[in-house]
Amino acid sequence: MLSDVIYSIIFYVFVLMVVGSAIIVAFSRYIMHSAFALLLTFSGVAGLYVFLAADFLAALQVLIYVGGILVLILFAVMLTHKISNVQLSNPVTKPWIAGPIALVILLGLIWIIIKTPWQVKAVPTESVGTTVEIGKAIMGTYLLPFEAVSVVLLVALIGAAYLARPVPGGTTSSPRCPFGQPRQGGEAGGQQSRRDVRSEKKD
């Protein structure tokens, strides 16, 4: 049937999009390329959710991952590098150790997935919206995790705002230490000067 073929083609385009852009994220030499490839990965995963009849999750994926987390990551990339520095590089350490580890885990996982006789039930061909069911589950069976997660979000909000707040009354040139007292005098002075030397070397 022609529509089946088109359906399959769209599915494999999404698969290719997810896997290909994830490979770019992993192996690109420039961190901006990685960040923008991550956009394609997240969008492709949203497409896969649609194929899994999870419409609410697909919308959530686009809203939170593409619209929220990715924008945060792009902000972090741009704020932690000098914009005038074109290179924005993304150095790699010891790929000859991590590569085989990741490859062995991948091949092992694929072998297990193919060999395991999954107890698959017949998938319903009719798809109704999942939003109502998810809402009922969150407000019924999963009420306690839902409340816990909302407290976690509140704590994360306060923590992030505390960590990222500007220095009160100070200039950005003076470093401050949010995790304790700023180091001053004595042996700590040596640490400070060593750090200054290093940052000058970086500049």
Q: Rule CB under 8 A: say whether 65 interacts with other proteins.
A: yes
Give the integer Cα–Cα distance in Å for 93 and 55. Answer: 39
Site size for other proteins (CB under 8 A): 97
Footprint (CB under 8 A) of other proteins, residues 118-177 = 118-121, 123-127, 130, 133-134, 137-138, 141-142, 145, 149, 152-153, 156-157, 159-161, 163-164, 172, 175-177
Q: Please pick, from the candidates 8, 13, 147, 189, the single residue that binds other proteins as defined by CB under 8 A.
A: 8
Task: For residue 9, give every residue at least 6 positions away whose Cβ sits within 8 Å of its Cβ, in sequence order, or none.
Answer: none
Toward other proteins, which CB reaches closer, 13 or 98? 98
121: left (phi over 0), alpha (psi -120 to 50) or beta: beta
Which one of 91, 168, 169, 186 is in contact with other proteins (CB under 8 A)? 91
Closest approach of other proteins to the CB of residue 185, in Å = 17
CB 38 within 8 Å of CB 21: yes
Give CA torsion, residues 93, 94, 98, 103, to 10 deg: 110
At its nearest, how many Å lie between other proteins and the CB of residue 177? 6
Whether the Cβ atoms of residue 56 and residue 130 lie closer than 8 Å to each other? yes
Binders in 39-58 for other proteins, by CB under 8 A: 41-42, 45, 48-49, 51-54, 56-57
Q: Find the binder of other proteins among 87, 189, 193, 195 (CB under 8 A).
A: 195
- Cα torsion angle, 38, 155, 56, 113, sign: positive
Smallest gap from residue 168 Cβ to other proteins (A)? 14
Instruction: Give me the count of residues in the chain.
Output: 203
Nearer to other proteins by C-beta: 175 or 189? 175
Alpha-carbon 121 to chain mean position: 32
